[in-house]
Every structure is written in C-alpha cells, then in structure tokens.
Amino acid sequence: MDEQKKKAKARIDLLRKNISQWNTKYYSLGQSDVSDELYDAYYLELKTLERKYPEFVSPDSPTKKVGAPLVQSSFEKVKHSVPMLSLENAFGNDELDLWFKRLEKNISLGDEDHNNSEKESFPNNSKSSSLEFVAELKIDGVSISLLYENGQFIKAITRGDGLTGEDVTENVRTINSLPQKVEYKGSFEVRGEVLMTFSTFKTLEGLANPRNATAGSLKLLDPKLCAERKLSLFTYQALGLKELRTHWDNLQFLKREGFTVNPLSEICSGIDEVKRFCEKANNDKKDLDYPTDGVVVKVNDLSLQESVGSTSKYPRWAIAYKFAAEEAETIVENITVEVGRLGTLTPVAELKPVLLAGTIVKRASLHNADLIQELDVRIGDYVIVRKAGEIIPEVVSVAKKEKRGEESLPFHFPETCPSCGTKVVKVESEVAIRCPNSQTCPAQIHRRIEHWASKSAMDIKGLGESIIAQLVQKNLINEFADIYLLKAENLLELEGFKDKSVDNLLSSIQESKSMPLDRVIFGLGIKHVGANTAKIIAKHYSSTDELMNVTKTELIGIDGVGDAIAEEIESFFRNEENRMLLERLKSYGLKMESVQENEFSKKPLLGQTFVITGMFEIPRSGIEEMILKMGGKVSSSVSKKTNYLILGEEPGSKLEKAKKFQTKIISLQDLRKMLNEE
Ligand code: IVH
C-alpha cells in the first residue's frame, strides 16, 4: 500500500471510531459530546474518503448504518413499521442546487418508467422550475414516532437505530400538546420532533443544550420527572393514510386532528422560493423560543415522493438545508467554575472578548468535567465558540493545539467547592459534580435567592443578579427571607439606586408577599419540584403550615407526584432549618396560601374599566399592571363606561369628568383592598 493510501486508511479508521462512539452515546444515552458541526465535518470527510478509496468501504462504517446499534437500556425495544430514515444535509445554496439537479434527474428517470396516463397523475413534474416543495423548519430535538389506534394514542417510540427504537410512551404522555385522543379512527402513525424550549432549558442546570436535555428527559425512568421538563412537540408527517395527495395535505390533516405543526411551514414553487424561505428562516430563527438548525425541504407531491424513493439512509425527496452555526475563534483566558442553585458545578471558559452573532462574548459554558477532559481545553488555548439561538455560548473545540505554550497544563476540576470549600461529590448516575453544602454555601444561597425572586416564582421585579450579588456581598441578605427585611436606606447604598428604583423594588417585594402557595413552593427550590409539580401540590394543600407535616406516602397518592419528588418534598419540610425559614417568612407577612381556582378569583377585576389620575407612591405603570393582571381594563379618559377612577394627589381634569359621570372614585389603597393586596 502506498504512503498516501496508508494515511487515508488511518484517517478513515479514526473518523469511523469517533463517529461510532458519538453515535453510541447519542442513541443509547441521549447524550452528545460533540457539536453538530464537528460531527457533520467528520461525517462528510469520511464519506469523501470512502468515495475516493472504495477499497476501504465496509458495511460496518457509520456511513452505511442508520444511527448506531442500541445498547442495553431499561426501555422496551420496538421495531418501526417503516424505518425512520435520516436526512441528507446541504450546507449552503450550492449543495441545495446539486440536490435539486439530482432530484430533477430522478424525476425524469421516473417518468420514463411510466406511461402517459400515469404521468398525468404527477401534476408538477413536467415543469421542474415550478416543482412544488414544502419548506419547514428543522427542529433541533429528538425524533419520535407516535402510534394511534381507534382514536387513541397508544405508543411512542424513539428513533433508535432507525429500525428499532425504544418505547418511551409514558414519558411522551406528559407532553401537554400531545393529543391523547383523535377524531380519526383508523390506525396511523405520526412522526415528529420532541423538543425543549429555550425558556424551559434555562431553568435547568448542568445540561449541554435543549436537544440533549430533551433526549435525556425522554430516557428518565420516572415520567413525573419527565413532566417537569415540560417537553413540547412539533409533528411533520402522518403515515398510513391513503387519501392524502400532498405533504401539505398531510400537515393539514395533523392540524385538524389536534397535533401541533410548526406554523412557519410554507409551500414553495421552485427552488428559488425555497432559497428565499431558507434565508428568511435563518434571519428569523433568533426570535424563536425553540432550537432549529435548518430547513427541511420536501417534495410536496406524495406520488412523486414515492417514485423517487429513498436510499437505505435518506429519502431522495427531502433534504436538510443546514444553517451555518455562528462560530468564532478566541483565546481562553481562564477557566472558572460556577456553582448552581442545587450545587451543580459548571465550568466556564473566560474568553478574550469576541464578536459572535452580533454580541460580544466573554464567557462560554464548558458544561461539565467530562467535556473539558474530552476536548482537552486548557487555559491559553485557541478555541472555537458557538452560539446557537438564545443559549449561552459554548466551547465547541480547541483550535491550533500545536500553538499551545509549553507551560500549558490540562485543567483539573476542583475537588472542593470554589464558593465554600466543601469537598465536592460525584453522583454515580449523573455527569454532574456537586457541592453538598446546600445550607451555607454562599454561591448556592445566591442562586436560590435569584430563583426565589424570578418571574415564575415570586416575581420580584428589579431584584436581578447584580443587585442580589451586591446585597449578599454587603451582608444585607443571607437567605431569601432577608429580602423582606430590606429598608429604603439599605437599598440606597447600592450602586445606581435612586429614590424611584428603591420605591419600585420595595413595592414589588411587598406585592410578592401575597403570591399564592404554588409560587412559594416553586420558589423554595426543592430538588425535582418545578413549576408544574408545585401547582399540583398547591392544589392538595392549603398552606405551607399544612405541608410541614406532609408524609411521603401521602404525597405519592397524588396524581402526578412520583417517588423521587415525594421524597424530596418530605425531607425539605422535615428539615429544621427549612422549617425555621418558613416560620420567618410567615412572620414577615407572607401569605403562602392556595387560591381557589375559579375564573373570578384569578381575575377579580374582569369586566371593570379603570382610569387613573394624579400622582402615586408607586409608578403608574405598576398600577396599570396590577389592574391588567387581575383582568381589568385601563383607559386613558373617563367615559360612561368607566367603572372606577383611581385618584392620586394633584388630580387632573379627569376628576371633574368622573364626578359628572358619577364614576366611583377610589384610592390606590382601595384598589389594593379589592385585590386583596393589603
Ligand atoms: S422529515 C425521512 N421534517 O431531522 C426523514 N425531519 O436529520 C423524515 N427533523 O430524523 C424527516 N425537523 O428527527 C423532518 N421538519 C422536519 C424535521 C425533521 C427535524 C429531524 C428528524 C430527522 C432528522 C434528520
């Protein structure tokens, strides 16, 4: 074998080894240590080399297999009735054109096999310039097959190796938008993508990206934990329906039956319209709350799809146009380790600032210790950073390893917590490394306060990360109960705080005292208890007092609460320090009680119109918000329809008008009483 061939063979072996390892990890554990770009680059290189050196082609190559073999796991294996194929990628318009040319050729070949009358049934294959496509977003989630019989959802199977997947029915059942019942009574299968929104992803710790988080969630053994992950679904294909003629009809069928179909799908006439769609989607993707990594282009006519057919891996009638990920190269100036609310240690690369997707990036997540080791990132390294959607940028790979200084040493993950010095622990079944000192670790306390004040918990506006950092640093707060002891003079000490912002923050703290029980339970930050579980618990208990005596057995009896959750809740309320914390909160006037869930109690001002005049101790926008939140309307001028005028100091002409119309005139305090906010 000549030198060049030898080299090629060695490279092929290396590429195959890496790709197979990534595949195994992804398909069996739902985890991925590699960026999509690197994976695609390796795959493409391997394919090119195999084409150039056909003597090295092997049936074991990952290019010849769909997905990876399944390794052992505790989910039941199910064979797919129709294989779940993958999609060929096109990077850029040139590759899209190549695919289109091949498609045209395939269509004309298909024509030769058909007599004229059959040709008639292909409405748009004669003029390929007007060949009709459907362009859809390529959702960056986990593909799923959903089986329905007699109008009922019966099974959900992961893609697995494309031929056999795993039964994840109970986890998929927790997806809110999944129709459990449908009108159509025949047997059929729906294919789609399970995903996690960026907003949900942001509330989790220690996970690489929404796709990984989705894959991991589907593999959770306790569906109740999966429910917490609030997965979503977009469907894109129904199989087993004879009466449909186009892919577009297929999407309409899905919508009619109650499935969620991505609203940004469009019919495109000809490849130029497809390109315009791709360009627009690429520009608009930053505004979406879910991850997408490209556009899937599909031939619309189903009989045409059938006539061009598929290879063993891909359908010939579809292609994935991949967006270029936004990447940049920079230097790692330091590697620091952050501690999360639940004690998870997350390594972070402190970067030489670099412009990426329109923003200056100074920090990027390194996710976990395993990843640092695998990438072998060191301080001083040149790295490629990437930003996908709204997620924090991440380090994808190390560039120019040869440029490393001699003094560069592999990074050693700390053995003690960088915040409190406690020895860290690694839980056997998790990738995460944790600080076990949940009670006094300053970093965990800081994050807990942040969580307590966050929008989905107590919604204390103006109490963001930097304010909390200052308050903690000045020893003004050590636990979230301390928030309720803050005084105007404390806040005026803080950087950038003026009378007005102090007033706003204090009234927001005041308002948070009447937050209902579910928000409090969520805000407490109990492990495994997300917003959903908190709501379920709050429906069964009237106050935190009642929860003090709750038992695990009792909790398990509640629909939607599993073993793990029940255990965490019981031990949280048994813990002496937590009990003291709750007592303190109560003594500061926090209600922490359940609200009756009827339309009126949620929105006591429904159907009432308010006009505001004069000056108040809180900003007008705050009053408006209170009214809107409780279902009322705010109008700028008094009319016959006005129900209440809220009167402040030095009122304007609106007061006269209100008197004329005999509108009820009330103070801000009266409004608060109406809202039970006093
Ligand atoms: S159609 C025959 N449409 O991308 C293949 N796939 O890289 C049919 N995906 O396994 C797939 N969004 O999990 C299709 N709108 C979309 C999609 C989509 C995401 C995923 C799917 C597939 C993978 C291929």
450 lines ligand 1 (CB under 6 A): no
In angstroms, what is the C-alpha Rg of the chain?
29
Q: Are 615 and 580 in contact (CB under 8 A)?
A: no
Cα 192 to averaged position of ligand 1 atoms, centre (Å)? 7
pLDDT of residue 379: 93
Nearest protein Cα to ligand 1, atom 23: 86
189 lines ligand 1 (CB under 6 A): no
pLDDT of residue 203: 80
Let me know how long the chain is.
678
Most confident of 34-43, 246-255, 668-677: 246-255
139 lines ligand 1 (CB under 6 A): yes
Nearest protein Cα to ligand 1, atom 9: 138
Q: Which residue has the higher pLDDT, 505 or 498?
A: 505
275: annotated active-site residue? no
85 lines ligand 1 (CB under 6 A): yes
193 lines ligand 1 (CB under 6 A): yes
87 lines ligand 1 (CB under 6 A): yes
- Cα–Cα distance, 341 to 526 (Å, whole number): 10
Task: Let me know if domain 609-677 sits in CATH 3.10.310.10.
Answer: no
Q: Which of 79, 138, 185, 400 is catalytic?
A: 138
Homologous superfamily of 442-587: 5' to 3' exonuclease, C-terminal subdomain (1.10.150.20)
Nearest protein Cα to ligand 1, atom 21: 143
pLDDT in tens, 143-194: 999 999 999 999 999 998 899 999 999 999 999 999 999 999 999 999 999 9
- Torsion sign (Cα): 286, 289, 293, 295: negative
CATH of 327-424, one of 3.40.50.300, 3.60.10.10, 2.40.50.140, 1.10.3720.10: 2.40.50.140
- How does strand 664-666 pair with strand 633-635? unpaired
Cα 224 to averaged position of ligand 1 atoms, centre (Å)? 27
Name the one residue in this structure whose structure tokens are 């297929």.
250
Nearest protein Cα to ligand 1, atom 17: 138
315 lines ligand 1 (CB under 6 A): yes
Cα 87 to averaged position of ligand 1 atoms, centre (Å)? 7
Q: Are 144 and 156 in contact (CB under 8 A)?
A: yes
Q: Are 81 and 166 in contact (CB under 8 A)?
A: no
3-state class (DSSP) for residue 131:
coil
Task: Give me the CATH topology for the region 3-65.
Answer: Helix Hairpins (1.10.287)
Return the exposure string of 470-489: e unless at least 16 CB atoms fall within 10 Å of the residue's CB, then b. bbbeeebbebbbbbbebeee
Choice among 301-315, 552-566, 595-609 with the minimum mean pLDDT: 595-609
Atom of ligand 1 nearest to the CA of 136: 15
pLDDT of residue 116: 43
- Cα dihedral value 147, 153, 158, 162, nearest 10: 0
Structural domain spans, the chain:
3-65, 89-322, 327-424, 442-587, 609-677
The DSSP secondary structure of 261-327, one letter per residue, reads --TT-EEEEHHHHHHHHHHHHHHHGGG-SS-EEEEEEEESBHHHHHHH-B-SS-BTTEEEEEPPPEE
3-state class (DSSP) for residue 418:
coil
Q: Where are the beta strands (DSSP E) in 14-88?
A: 77-79
pLDDT of residue 73: 57
Q: Is the pLDDT of residue 595 over 50?
A: yes
297 lines ligand 1 (CB under 6 A): no
Contacts of 454 (CB under 8 A, 6+ apart): 523
Atom of ligand 1 nearest to the CA of 142: 13
For the chain, give the percent of residues with pLDDT over 90. Answer: 50
Atom of ligand 1 nearest to the CA of 89: 7
Q: Residue 356 — pLDDT band, cuts 50, 70, 90?
A: confident
Return the exposure string of 207-225: e unless at least 16 CB atoms fall within 10 Å of the residue's CB, then b. bbbbbbbbbbbbbbeebbb
- Mean pLDDT computed over every residue of the chain: 87
Q: Is the pLDDT of residue 117 over 60?
A: no
Cα 255 to averaged position of ligand 1 atoms, centre (Å)? 18
CATH code at 89-322: 3.30.470.30
3-state class (DSSP) for residue 453:
helix
